[in-house]
Amino acid sequence: MTESKLILDGARVAQAIKDELAGRVHKLSERGVTPCLATILVGDDPASETYVRMKGNACRRLGIASRKVELGAETTTEELLAVIRGLNEDPTVHGILLQHPVPNHIDERAAFEAIDLAKDVDGVTTLGFAQNAFGFAAYPSCTPAAIVAILDHYRIPIEGKHAVVVGRSPILGKPVSLMLLNRNATVTICHSKTRDLDRVVGTGDLVVAAVGKPKFIQGGWIKEGAVVLDAGYNPGNVGDVDYEACLARASAITPVPAGVGPVTIATLLKHTVEAAERRV
C-alpha cells in the first residue's frame, strides 16, 4: 500500500459480503430452498459472455443456482419479453439479470420493465429506481450499492461530504447520486455537457467516476485528500480514472480491477439471496 494512501480493496469487501451470505444460503438449503439467479444473454458479445460467466461462477461457489439463458442476436423484443415473463412465473427463479447492452434492434428499456420487481435483483426497472430515490428500494442497482458498501466497509464518512459523480446513466450515475444524497451528502452530477468539468471535479470530497471512458478523470482534477471511486472498466483492465495520477492526490482510491467490480457481483448475490428469503 502506498504510504498514507488507502487502497480500497474490493476483493476484501466482496469476501466479507459472501462470508455473511454463506450462512444464510445454508439456512435456506435446510428449508429446501436454493436461491436461483437467471441470467439472460442476447447475442455473442465477448465482454458480456465473460461477465455472465463470472457471475455464474460466483453463484456456484456460494451455493446459488445459476440458470443461463442464451438467445441469438436475431432475437426480437417480443421473444425476449416472452422469456422474461416465463422466468417471472417460475417459482424456482428468485432473481433475473438481463445482461446489457442488448443488440440495438431490441427495446432494452421494455425488456427491463418486463422484469418482476420482486426479481429485479439488478435494480434496472423504473419502479425500482423510484424506490431507490425515496430510499427504500429492496434491490438498488448493484454497482451504486457496491460503491456505498465500499465506503461503509472502510468507514469513510458520507454525511456532509460533497460528492461529485461523473456520469448520469440510469443504472449507475443517477442511482448512486440518489443513494449518496439519501445519506446526507451534497451531490453534484456531471456529464458530457458540464462546463469546466475539471474545476467541478476538483471540489469533490468524494469523486465517483462512471463515465465509461478510459483514464478520463485526470490526477490534476482531484482535490488533495479526496476519495476516488472508479466504477469504470475498459479494455486492458483500465478504469475511468488515471489511477497513478489520481492516487498521488487522493486519500483513498479503488483500483481497477479488484475495486468496485467484485463488490458489484457480491451485491448481486446478496440481492438474490434476499429475494429467496422473501419467498420462504
Phi, psi of 198 (to 5 degrees): -60, -40
The long-range contacts involving 241-244, CB below 8 angstroms and separated by at least 24 positions, are 241/207, 241/209, 241/215, 241/216, 241/217, 242/215, 242/217, 242/218, 243/215, 244/219
In single-letter form, the type of residue at position 110 comes to A
Q: What is the CATH classification number for the domain harbouring 200?
A: 3.40.50.720
Residues 109 and 64 in one domain: yes
pLDDT averaged over 10-residue windows placed end to end, the chain, 280 residues: 79 97 97 97 91 93 97 97 98 96 96 98 96 96 98 98 97 97 98 96 98 96 98 93 97 97 97 96
Tell me the pTM. 0.95
Residues 163 and 238 in one domain: yes
Residues 250 and 183 in one domain: yes
Phi, psi of 163 (to 5 degrees): -100, 130
Residue 81's pLDDT is 98
Residue 192's pLDDT is 87
Say how far apart CA 169 and CA 171 lie, in whole Å.
6
Residues 176 and 66 in one domain: no
Residues 149 and 65 in one domain: no
Look at residues 126, 76, 128, 132 and name the one whose alpha carbon lies nearest to residue 104.
76
Domain-embedded: residue 56: yes
Domain-embedded: residue 184: yes
Residue 155's pLDDT is 98
* 260 in Cβ contact with 147 (< 8 Å): yes
Residue 137's pLDDT is 95
Domain-embedded: residue 48: yes
Residues 81 and 160 in one domain: no
Residue 3's pLDDT is 54
Cβ density class 213-238: b for 16+ within 10 Å, e for less: ebbbbebebbbeebbbbbbbbeeeeb
Active site residues: 55, 99, 122
Residues 247 and 147 in one domain: yes
Domain-embedded: residue 100: yes
Residues 107 and 147 in one domain: no
Q: What is the CATH classification number for the domain harbouring 81?
A: 3.40.50.10860
171-208-96 Cα angle (round to 5): 25
Residues 153 and 238 in one domain: yes
Residues 165 and 99 in one domain: no
Count of domains observed in the chain: 2
Q: Which residues pair with 70 in a beta bridge?
A: 41
Domain-embedded: residue 124: no
Residues 256 and 198 in one domain: yes
Domain-embedded: residue 122: no
Say how far apart CA 223 and CA 14 lie, in whole Å.
28
Domain-embedded: residue 8: no
Q: Which domain holds residue 220?
A: 141-260
- From 100, 116, 132, give the residue that closes a domain: 116
Domain-embedded: residue 181: yes
DSSP single-letter state for residue 251: S
Name residue, grid cell 479488484: 258
Residues 159 and 97 in one domain: no
